[in-house]
Amino acid sequence: MNTTSLPSVLEVTQLLQAWHAGDRAALEQLIPLVNAELHRLAGGYMRRQAPDHVLQATALVNEAWLKLIDWQAVTWQNRAHFFGVAAQLMRRILVDEARRQHAQKHGGNALRVSMSEVEMLAQRKSHDLLALDDALQALAEFDERRSRIVELRFFGGLSVEETAEVLGSSPRTVAREWRLAQAWLYRELSQQ
Amino acid sequence: MNNNRWREVERIFDETLEQPELDRAAFMAQACAGDDTLRHEVESLLAAHQQAGGFLVASAAKLSSVNYGTTAMSARQRIGPYQLLREIAQGGMGVVWLAERADDQYRQQVAIKLIKAGASNADIAHRLRHERQILADLNHPNIARLLDGGTTESGQPYLVMEYIEGVPIDAYCQQQQLTLRARLQLFRQVCAAVQYAHQHLIIHRDLKPANILVTADGAPKLLDFGIAKLLQPNLADSHHTQSGLHPMTPAYASPEQMRGESLTTASDVYSLGVVLYELLTGRSPYQLTTNTFGELSRAICEQDPIKPSIAVTQSHSSNEERLPSSLRTPHSAFRTLKGDLDSIVLMALRKEPRARYSSVEQFSEDIQRYLDGLPTLARKGTLAYRAVKYVRRYKVPVAAAALILLSLLGGIGATARQAQIARAEQAKAEVQRLRAEQALAVADQQRRRAEQALAEVKAERTRTEDALTTAEERRKQAEVARNEADQQRTEAESQKAFADEQRARAEQGEETKRQFLYAAQMKLAQQAWESSNIERMQELLDAQLPQPGQRDLRGFEWYYFWRLAHSDLVTIKHEGAVNSIVVTPDGAKMASQTSDGGIRIWDTATGKELPRIHDGETNATCLTISPDGQFFAQGKANGKIKIYSVSNGAPLATLEASQQVITAIAFAPDGKLLAASTFDGMVGVWAVPTWQRQALFKVSPNSINTIVFAPDSKQLITSGTAGTDTTQVWNPHNGQRLRSMSQIEKAAYKMAFIPGSNNLVTGDTDGPIRIWDFATGRLLTQMKTTWASGGLICSPDGRIIASGHFEQVVRLWDARTGALLTEVKGHSGPLMALAFTPDGKGLFTGSQDRTLKFRNVQKASEAREIANNGILSVVFSRDGHRLISTNYSQEVRLHDLTTGMALQRLKGHQQKPLAAGDTTMMMKVAVSLAGKYFATAGYDGTVRTWDEETGKPLQVFSGHTGGLYALAISPDGQHIASGGSDLTMKIWDTTSGRELHTLSGHRRRIRGAAFAPHEKILVTCSEDGTIKIWDYLKGVEIATTKPYTSGIYDLAFSPDGRWLALGGNDRYIILLDTTTWRTVKTLKGHAQIVYAIKFSPDGKRLASASRDSTTRLWELEQGQEVLSLRRQGDSPMMDLAFSPDGTSLAAVTMKGELFVWPVITQQEISAYSGAQNRPLRANQSDDAVRSLLAVQPLSTSSAALPDIPDQKIYGWVKGPNGDSLRDLMNLYAMRLDSSVSLSHKTSALIIGKKEETKGFCTIMQGVRADHFRGRRVRFSGYLKSLGISRPAGLWMGVDGEGYMLKYSNTFKPASIEWVKYEMVLDVPEDSLNIVFGFLLQGEGHLWGDDFRLEIVDADVPVTDISGIRERNQAEFLRLPEQERLRLERGYKERAKTLPLKPVNMDFV
């Protein structure tokens, strides 16, 4: 394996820190690195797994994270903080993936599906995910905080408590704010 | 939304939700008072909140995937007291880690399975707690133990299991090269472990080699027992479709598992069966082509596994190293597995859980029995199983079946009651069966106990001699107990057998209902067809597709209807109603138009769509094409006409006629003028291709419906909704009126000239289509029909008129006689457009249903006419490719089934005037299935035999004193029976050529005779109403019976000899059981005399021909009529014949017509469903579907034939046939020691045998000439020779290294041009096949991409090669005359001694 082409752990970690410190360009650099890792992982899996094993994008994203980041080197405030950062990245990757799948429209090179994953196949959801992303952007325009809550909870998979922790707020407030964000998004998406 | 506004919304939203529910509405109304927008906003958000529920609550990751993020583990991490070491595997259920106990108490390696987080971790964790103990109790040396389990800190469930170091059983067997015996013994150990678990009420559910590891010391260890259940507790008891995890491996899953049904231990038996299958054969039980899940699932649920003994030989070479050493040669493998092992494995793999081994133990014991050389249960069970399988359970809901029956058959109460009784019986049988099974279980248990006691006693005896007496006593007791248990078991078994029988009977009741339902639905399908409701018909057909486990009830009628429903070769969907269709004069392109979708164009050869022409407007009303195929003229609703280039779609001109809708456009036949008519009565004429306007004149104040140029291009006819003079003739150049066709009273809606004549066809809104002599205005023919609103066109050959109608049909008329030829159905909306292909064989139709359909005109009809001149009787040749008919002239004809052409006329029988007392003349014909001959029985009283291949007369038998009406050939072909007016039957011996016996006894004319298929008896029937059964070898009568009240006209044995069917003047058909000769069934339905009856080759249907003008088909199990066929213009049906493969039914009418009703075959259905981009040419093949199949590789039965690349082979021929063959042989004998055959029916392929001395051979290969008739073609590539076979004979040209140029007996081609690797010639119109020869050297490739056969357009310049031709000819002529004669003589001589080896040919 050609290791020089892989992003170094340090590189990724530094970018993450830079991004965290407010350097938005760092995210733009991070995405291709993470994606490259994803593809590498995917290739490895495809060789090892039974031919009709389907890889789940998010599983890979998570795994990619774990492999890419030197946990020790990053001074995370706490676990929730890490996921706060990860949530944004996750959203980007998932939405990009959904957009790609949506464009392909279940093209000919779709992976074969084994029985256990039929229901889980993300493809079906690609459309919904794109719509959600759009709606989230619209929400962010007049209520960035709520958009962020949804991002943390939905894309980052954080609980109300964890979200509160990331935002430095109380769980009660987050729950209340989430309530309206959820209703607003629901209305937006169900009108489509 | 601005921020402040949103804050407001937010505030009221939150505050409202703080209120008690009842007060919220009031609170909000007050809070938003005076601001409706705000109120509406909050209101809708509150509503959304109410509905949102869990929206977005589950994270994206959880929704779309497995969440590794929160649960992924890494080495050195700890789970409970265990330290993870390394990842061992990833599977469907999760990740498996190798771990060891981290407390230093003791070191033990374990496997930790981290369960993938599914829908609910909590659920799994809960179940885990609950079931862990049960699993932990599984304590068996061959089962990996479950040690522990729990949830990680992050809530992920895990299981700790004994860590097994081993290899999967299949890999182990291969690595260790285990013998068959060792494999079976190892497998039995696996069985023992599974049985142990079953006794503890635990089913594995996911048995597969990967879960059966064998350790270094050779002990099998089963992993993951009960895990599947743990993860999916509802699998067994839920009827809901399971989503998410299905912990099973499809390749090893049982049918019930695939269907998600509840599982029993039988499912593990099945999986073990698959494992054993693989250990024995090295492959899986099903032959899969694509390996997709769907296919696998279908195979598991429906397909019978391939017998291991067969499977092992099929893939032997690739599998060899996986097989036991004793199975290393295909022969030994086959011999070893055949019989007991086949039966054992297949018994474990049966689809019905109940039909498998009742326990793993039984399975294992049967293997032991095999090892001990004892008879196995499986082998015994196979026969019984097959019988039971025959009456398999099926799933049509009883209620639905009953309902439909009820409405159809009227037997309301009876049917419902029957269903109820059947259900009750079934339930009762079920209870009894359960009871019996329980008793059986108890008996088994007692027996086991007794056996255990026995074993104990034995042990004791060896331990001490002292206890002998006591032990002996106990042994006796035990034996008594065992005997008792055995007795109980026997009793229980007989109870079970009884219950099973009752159950089978109940099931049979349902089967009967299904059959009734089937017959009823076929009748409905026929009604749907007659009312051209194709969708309904298709629904009814689809409803009869057998479900998994159901018996397939479909027969001839189903495939016949399917063909009718799909008489379109291609259907192309459009976005709107298809209002015009045009075809280029060379047939290469077809274009269609919808009003808003522009012009769509297809390449007809490939079926591919070309770029469409669309100007963005949505007002196209009509479309036509110039006679030279260069221009499209498109009429618009705004009075404009757009001209486009056909070749590149470029817009060339826009013409304007008025402001009103263009109603019709026409090009003059000479291509120099274009005319268009409008809704406001204008006609415009333009010059082509300058598009200068020549004239614009007002024809009428009202709309012009249709315009057409006369064949001379000098007159333009218009017709429209004016008062008196509706139809007028104009000079197109100046708009001067030439005359009025006042005899055409009604305004024509559509008009067309019949090509090649001066006859004008008109159709008006009142219906009739009329043909006029245009010059005189005389009415020639009138066809009564409905308004041809959807077009009126003539085929290019001028023979057929097609009219499209509002009622969704196209009618085809004979242009000379005005007779209705056929109705073409299939559209579900009114017809709008029609077009023929230039050869007149293909018809495009467009409809308001937004489809364009393409059909082969011939194939679209219900029946195909083969002949219509005095035919009396018909049979198919043995290969099914030809029909043999007899006629009033006492002549025999051979017809090619595909082309309908009469191939040969055989004379021999004398014509005789009708004798006094005879009302009809007859001449029967029969084909010998064994003897390669056919026989005819003439009105002249003689029987003649003929060579089936060549038609050569063989024998003549005379002796009868009256006309013959009955004829039959014995199954072995040795004897012929004939009889008729002289009231005697004569038996002829074809070996000696003499009469064997004369049988007398019938009192009136003998009408039919039949030999029994398996016994040496002959049955005859007569107008005296009796049948007589004869021992024809001894010449004695065995019995006479009179099952019919009046004259019997025909009789037939079913292929299995079980039934004798007869019919006649009583109008019904009866079936006799041939063991008792009693009537078992009566088939009623015909309204008049039944003249002929025939069984279908598979014995499932009976066809009958009657004077009532119908041919009917009956299914035989319930005796229901399933199809009634009629001929256009009713005529009594006289004779019938099924093709040997059952795919065609031929019939003869009293008018002397001979025609065939074909069906579609299963393969053709598959090809139809699978094909895309089908060519839009009817002449692609007579049967376009078949042409798709024709590219499939074909095999040959002769080993001596060389290997030929198969992608272009169209088929092997069957022959020989007549002079054409001999000519071919003459030519080739010179160079080859060849075996040659040729047939009219097939694409000819002629094979030459490898020549010994020179080491090369010439391969001749052919294609049907259909593509090329009347065309100039160019062949390029290394061709040795080229031939064209025609009805008149064969023309052959050979380049033969340049010394021989032409050879022909009857035909010299008008144009032929040769160079060595390229030749051009015109293919005659009546060509059958084009045959070309290739030189094949050694193992060389025959033809590759460098071979081409192409149609050359007349106006495309062809290399001038005439010089070369002359040179070649001169060279040949320069050969010494002696040499030329010697060559010719040489091959003529050798031709005589050539062996003719007909090779059986069939597509696919």
Cβ within 8 Å of residue B727, ≥6 positions away = B717, B718, B719, B740, B741, B742, B744, B747, B748, B762
The top-scoring range by mean pLDDT among A140-154, B526-540, B635-649, B920-934 is B635-649
Cβ within 8 Å of residue B34, ≥6 positions away = none
Name the least confident of B491-495, B559-563, B878-882.
B491-495
Residues of chain A in contact with residue B248, where contact means CB-CB under 8 angstroms, are 115
Is it the case that residue B1248 has pLDDT exceeding 50? no
Tokens 């599974």 correspond to what residue? Answer: B194
- Please state the rounded mean pLDDT for residues B1255-1260: 41
pLDDT for residue B1194: 24
pLDDT for residue B1378: 76
Helix and strand tally (H, E) in chain A? 8, 0
Check if the beta carbon of residue B1156 is closer than 8 Å to that of residue B1114.
Answer: no
Identify the residue with better confidence: A133 or A41. A133
In Å, how far from its chain's centre is CA B186? 44
Is it the case that residue B1230 has pLDDT exceeding 50? no
Q: What is the full DSSP assignment across B397-457? A: -HHHHHHHHHHHH--HHHHHHHHHHHHHHHHHHHHHHHHHHHHHHHHHHHHHHHHHHHHHH
- Does the distance separating the beta carbons of B92 and A154 come in below 8 Å? no
Identify the residue with better confidence: B66 or B1389. B1389
Is it the case that residue B975 has pLDDT exceeding 70? yes
DSSP label at B77?
-
Give the closest residue to B1380 by CA, choosing from B1308, B1301, B1272, B1281: B1301
Question: Distance, in angstroms, between A85 CA and closest chain B CA?
Answer: 14
- Please state the rounded mean pLDDT for residues B169-183: 89
pLDDT tens profile B1136-1174: 999 988 888 999 998 888 988 888 777 667 655 554 555
Check if the beta carbon of residue B582 is closer than 8 Å to that of residue B625.
Answer: yes
Tell me, yes or no, if A187 comes closer than 8 A to chain B by beta carbon: yes
| Residue A25 CB-density burial (10 A; 0-12 exposed, 13-18 middle, 19+ buried) | exposed
Is it the case that residue B692 has pLDDT exceeding 70? yes
pLDDT tens profile B343-394: 899 999 988 888 898 889 999 999 998 888 888 888 776 645 543 443 333 3
Cβ within 8 Å of residue B648, ≥6 positions away = none
Tell me, yes or no, if B106 comes closer than 8 A to chain A by beta carbon: no
Is it the case that residue B1102 has pLDDT exceeding 90? yes
CA distances from B1001 to B998, B1026, B1030, B1034, B1077 (A): 10, 10, 11, 15, 19
Neighbouring C-beta atoms of residue B438, cutoff 10 Å: 11
Question: How far, in Å, CA of B601 to CA of B82, rounded?
Answer: 71
The DSSP H or E segment spanning B1072 is: strand B1069-1073
Check if the beta carbon of residue B640 is closer than 8 Å to that of residue B678.
Answer: no
Q: Which residues pair with B1060 in a beta bridge?
A: B1053, B1072
Check if the beta carbon of residue B1169 is closer than 8 Å to that of residue B1305.
Answer: no
Check if the beta carbon of residue B1097 is closer than 8 Å to that of residue B1138.
Answer: yes
Question: How far, in Å, CA of B1130 to CA of B924, rounded?
Answer: 23
- Does the distance separating the beta carbons of A129 and B62 come in below 8 Å? no
Question: Distance, in angstroms, between A112 CA and closest chain B CA?
Answer: 8
The three-state secondary structure class of B146 is strand
Question: How far, in Å, CA of B1344 to CA of B1113, rounded?
Answer: 48
Check if the beta carbon of residue B706 is closer than 8 Å to that of residue B748.
Answer: yes
Chain A segment 123-152 residues within 8 A of B by beta carbon are: 125, 129, 132, 142-143, 150
Neighbouring C-beta atoms of residue B383, cutoff 10 Å: 10
pLDDT tens profile B441-482: 666 776 777 677 667 766 665 665 555 566 667 777 777 777
| Residue B1087 CB-density burial (10 A; 0-12 exposed, 13-18 middle, 19+ buried) | exposed
Could you report the predicted ipTM of this complex, rounded to two decimals? 0.70
- Does the distance separating the beta carbons of A63 and B64 come in below 8 Å? no
pLDDT band at A185 (very low <50, low <70, confident <90, very high): confident
Identify the residue with better confidence: B1216 or A78. A78
- Please state the rounded mean pLDDT for residues B999-1022: 92
Is it the case that residue B189 has pLDDT exceeding 90? yes
Query: Hey, what amino acid is at A154?
Result: F
Chain A segment 1-40 residues within 8 A of B by beta carbon are: none
The top-scoring range by mean pLDDT among B159-173, B973-987, B1259-1273 is B973-987
Query: Of A86, A156, A184, which is closest to B45 when you measure between CB atoms?
Result: A184
pLDDT for residue B588: 86
The three-state secondary structure class of B918 is coil
Query: Hey, what amino acid is at B1347?
Result: F
B1329's tokens: 């096949």
- Does the distance separating the beta carbons of B293 and A94 come in below 8 Å? no
- Does the distance separating the beta carbons of B247 and A116 come in below 8 Å? yes
pLDDT for residue B1195: 25
Neighbouring C-beta atoms of residue B736, cutoff 10 Å: 10
Overall residue count recorded for chain B in this entry: 1404
Question: Distance, in angstroms, between B236 CA and closest chain A CA?
Answer: 17
- Does the distance separating the beta carbons of A180 and B56 come in below 8 Å? no
Query: Hey, what amino acid is at B719?
Result: S
Q: Which residues pair with B851 in a beta bridge?
A: B573
CA distances from A47 to A39, B186, B594, B1128 (A): 12, 32, 51, 65
Q: What is the full DSSP assignment across B983-1044? A: SEEEEEETTTTEEEEEEE--SS-EEEEEE-SSSSEEEEEETTS-EEEEETTTTEEEEEE--S
Give the closest residue to B903 by CA, choosing from B893, B911, B913, B912: B893
Residue of B nearest to A155 (CA): B60
CA distances from B1335 to B69, B1247, B1256, B1298, B1302 (A): 68, 11, 7, 14, 18
Question: How far, in Å, CA of A152 to CA of B1372, rounded?
Answer: 92
Name the least confident of B97-111, B403-417, B1057-1071.
B403-417
Question: How far, in Å, CA of B865 to CA of B887, rounded?
Answer: 15
pLDDT tens profile B145-158: 888 777 777 667 78
Strands of the B964-969 sheet, one edge to the other: B964-969, B975-980, B984-989, B994-1000
- Please state the rounded mean pLDDT for residues B515-536: 83
The top-scoring range by mean pLDDT among B268-277, B510-519, B1187-1196, B1387-1396 is B268-277
- Does the distance separating the beta carbons of B64 and A122 come in below 8 Å? yes
Query: Hey, what amino acid is at B145?
Result: R
Tell me, yes or no, if A70 comes closer than 8 A to chain B by beta carbon: no
Residues of chain A in contact with residue B60, where contact means CB-CB under 8 angstroms, are 58, 90-91, 94, 129, 154-155, 157
Question: Distance, in angstroms, between B195 CA and closest chain A CA?
Answer: 27
Best B59, B243, B249, B252 residue to mutate vs chain A (most A CBs within 10 Å): B59
pLDDT for residue B1383: 55
Is it the case that residue A64 has pLDDT exceeding 70? no
Is it the case that residue A73 has pLDDT exceeding 60? no
pLDDT band at B760 (very low <50, low <70, confident <90, very high): very high
Question: Distance, in angstroms, between B92 CA and closest chain A CA?
Answer: 7
Query: Of B49, B63, B246, which is closest to A125 when you measure between CB atoms?
Result: B63
- Please state the rounded mean pLDDT for residues A75-85: 55
Check if the beta carbon of residue B361 is closer than 8 Å to that of residue B327.
Answer: no
Question: Distance, in angstroms, between A123 CA and closest chain B CA?
Answer: 9
Q: What is the dihedral of CA A182, A185, A191, B1, to 10 degrees?
A: 120
* Percentage above 90 pLDDT, chain B: 20
Tell me, yes or no, if A87 comes closer than 8 A to chain B by beta carbon: no
Strands of the B589-594 sheet, one edge to the other: B578-583, B589-594, B598-603, B608-613
Tokens 């109300």 correspond to what residue? Answer: A160
Question: How far, in Å, CA of B1397 to CA of B1212, rounded?
Answer: 12
Is it the case that residue B1075 has pLDDT exceeding 70? yes
pLDDT for residue A51: 32
Tell me, yes or no, if B49 comes closer than 8 A to chain A by beta carbon: yes
pLDDT for residue B693: 92
Is it the case that residue B1091 has pLDDT exceeding 90? yes
- Please state the rounded mean pLDDT for residues B1387-1396: 40
Residue of A nearest to B294 (CA): A115
- Does the distance separating the beta carbons of A142 and B6 come in below 8 Å? yes
B347's tokens: 């018994």
Name the least confident of A94-108, B710-724, B842-856.
A94-108
pLDDT tens profile A30-39: 766 666 655 5
Question: How far, in Å, CA of B134 to CA of B543, rounded?
Answer: 47
Residues B991-1025: b if buried by 16+ CB within 10 A, e if exposed: eeeeebbebebbeebbbbbbbbeeeebbbbbbbbb
Check if the beta carbon of residue B371 is closer than 8 Å to that of residue B181.
Answer: yes
Identify the residue with better confidence: B1183 or B311. B311
Question: How far, in Å, CA of B260 to CA of B254, rounded?
Answer: 10
pLDDT tens profile B1303-1356: 333 334 444 444 445 566 777 777 666 665 554 443 333 333 334 555 554 433
Residues B1123-1139: b if buried by 16+ CB within 10 A, e if exposed: bbbbbbeebbbbbbbbb
Q: What's the per-residue H, E or C state across B1361-1404?
A: CHHHHHHHHHHHHHCCHHHHHHHHHHHHHHHHHCCCCCCCCCCC
- Please state the rounded mean pLDDT for residues B1383-1399: 41
Check if the beta carbon of residue B74 is closer than 8 Å to that of residue B85.
Answer: no
Question: Distance, in angstroms, between B609 CA and closest chain A CA?
Answer: 21
H helix intervals, B663-772: none
DSSP label at B178?
-
Query: Hey, what amino acid is at B731?
Result: N
